[in-house]
Amino acid sequence: MDKPISSTLRTTFLVHWIFGGVLGVALFLAPGRLLTLLGWVDQWVQLPQSDQSIPGTTFVDAVIVRSLGAALLGLAFASFLGWRARKWDAVALIVQSELVYCILGLLALISGIFLMGRPMPAVGYVLMLILAVFAIAWGLSLRRANS
């Protein structure tokens, strides 16, 4: 028998749809500006052994950042479909995919702390917290559905 999805899971889908959609659109449309605004990239970078400064967005790979935005938009769309669904069988794969994405994203940010070569911007810790909260929500939903 097909289980109905909980109101908590529907709310998780709704929040993820909105959050992922907003961040995905921003990363997709204005990658350098958003990363500068969030403090991930310095607005100006002093060139070594020079008096010249260049925009920090010079060092942003817009294709990679836009690809992240596209991935977030794809996940946001999946969350929209999950929010509209009524039965667990319709959302099981979405929940599993969201869980894997959140765990891998969290691991990527954690590894960045050690490999970045500079302090993690404050927004990095905020993103780690958001990914951890979503990972817990997806994991609990998966556990409840399988029990």
pLDDT truncated to tens, each residue of the chain (147 aa)? Answer: 489 999 999 999 999 999 999 999 999 999 988 988 888 887 777 778 888 877 767 777 889 999 999 999 999 999 999 999 999 999 999 999 999 999 999 999 999 888 877 788 999 999 999 999 999 999 999 999 988
Task: Report the run of H or E that residue 145 belongs to, with start and end.
Answer: helix 122-146
Residue 1 lies in a domain: no
Task: Report yes or no on 2 lying in a domain.
Answer: no
With contact defined as beta carbons under 8 Å apart, do 24 and 73 qualify?
yes
Domains: count for the chain = 1
- Residue 25 is part of which domain span? 7-146
- Model confidence, pTM: 0.87
Please indicate, yes or no, if residue 61 is contained in any of the structural domains.
yes
Residue 50 within any structural domain of the chain? yes
Task: Tell me whether residue 123 is in a domain.
Answer: yes
